Amino acid sequence: MLTLPPSIAAFFALFPLRTNPPIYPPSKKPITAPTLWIIPTNPSHSLSNDVECLKWQAYLALRGLTNIHIRTDVHPEGAIDGRLPNLHVPPSAEKKSDDDGQLLAAHLIPAWVDTQTTTVDPDLEGYIDAAARDESRAWVALLEGTVHAALLFSQPSPSYLERFLSISISSPLSFSWSSDAPTSNAASNTTPSPSLQTLITPPPPPATGVTSLFPASGVRISPTAILTQYRDAIAALSERLGTDQWFLGSSGPTALDALAFAYIHTLIESQSDTLRVEVCRRVNLVGWEKRVRETVDSAFRREAR
């Protein structure tokens, strides 16, 4: 880097001769309370329609935090790595008051929550024993795999116009003779959001077929297989909950409960009758969802805007 000779730097330091007060952005409000950015919600309550956002809403609420603001006007593209939710936390007390605070990606939320409330035992994570903790991993896999696949599958596919508009012309040409290209992709630390290709075992072949010479696109999946697995999963979930207060017999809410709530709530609100009926048939799940929903809903406040 070139550095300016001191005489020139001194000359430049004279300017501007007069400084006017800064021009502030118009619609900016100072952040006062932790604010969760989520995908728009149903106007009647403060719970997001998006499973991923709802998971973190439930997590925050079930960890005992209250009075969290929510903000629904931010497009996912504006979030860190293009994925909501993000948690916007006010600056810590010793910093200046006009500071913007800090924006946290979803995976950093637990660490922030730990600074706010009593930490849970890192070994058992709130479950009754190690076996239950191990089992919780299995349930997470079931919810995030099988149930999520059914949810994705039931969502209507975007129209042709939407798809045309969403094709970003920014993506560079796919031909690549520079070996650096894959490096840059891998270096960026973003994982793609879950899709049917990532959730179904074994990964489904493209809809154009594998043997075809045409470029692969779409996925070929069997709807019956997805629904069979989904029914099994919901039946198992209901059976495992039984009449317990929380999943796996824990004494207090755990991360699994937050996750389960997010899925069960989304399924109950789902547009797809097939999915909804499966949950609504099970009284214990519906009752449990209702109870947890009240807790979660009361922890959030819509930001007045």
Which of 27/118 has CB closer to other proteins? Answer: 27
Across the chain, which distance is largest between two alpha carbons, in Å?
81
For other proteins, the closer of residues 1 and 118 by Cβ is 1
Q: Which of 122, 180, 243, 271 binds other proteins (CB under 8 A)?
A: 180
Closer residue to other proteins (CB): 225 or 277: 225
Encoding tokens for residue 216?
A: 């692969």
Can residue 158 be called a binding residue for other proteins (CB under 8 A)?
no
Q: Which of residues 9-38 bind other proteins (CB under 8 A)?
A: 12, 15-28
Binding piece for other proteins, criterion CB under 8 A, among 59-67, 185-193, 259-267, 292-300 = 185-193
Least distance (Å) from other proteins to the CB of residue 36? 14
Q: Which is nearer to other proteins, 93 or 164 (CB)?
A: 164
- Whichever of 88 and 293 has its CB closer to other proteins, that residue is 88
Structure tokens at 22: 């800064």
Please give the backbone phi and psi of residue 81, each rounded to the nearest 5 degrees, phi first.
60, 20
For residue 98, the one-letter residue type is D
Amino acid in position 236 = A
Least distance between other proteins and beta carbon 62 (Å):
20
CA neighbor of 64 nearest in space, from 253, 245, 247, 248: 253
CA dihedral 258, 260, 262, 268 (to 10 degrees): -150
Site for other proteins in 239-278 (CB under 8 A): 239-240, 242
CA 5 remoteness from chain centre? 51
Strand-pair category, 86-89 with 102-105: antiparallel
Contacts to other proteins from residues 123-152, by CB under 8 A: 130-131, 134-135, 137-139, 141-142, 145-146
Within residues 202-231, the interface with other proteins by CB under 8 A covers 202-214, 216-225, 228-229
Q: Indicate the residue among 26 and 118 with the shorter CB distance to other proteins.
A: 26
The residue behind tokens 């998971």 is 55
Which one, 66 or 158, has the nearer CB to other proteins? 158
From the CB of 92, what's the least distance to other proteins, in Å? 17
3-state secondary structure of 135: helix
What are the structure tokens assigned to 219, written together?
């996925």
Pick from 1, 2, 169, 283: which binds other proteins (CB under 8 A)? 169
Gyration radius of the chain's alpha carbons: 24
**Near other proteins by CB under 8 A: residue from 192, 243, 271, 304:** 192
Whose tokens are 């329609």? That residue is 49
> Which residue's CB is nearer to other proteins, number 120 or number 140?
140
Structure tokens at 291: 């109870």
Binding mask 63-102 for other proteins (x = CB under 8 A): ----------xxxxxxxx-x-----x-----------x--
Helix boundaries (H) for 130-254 = 130-141, 148-154, 160-166, 180-187, 196-199, 223-241
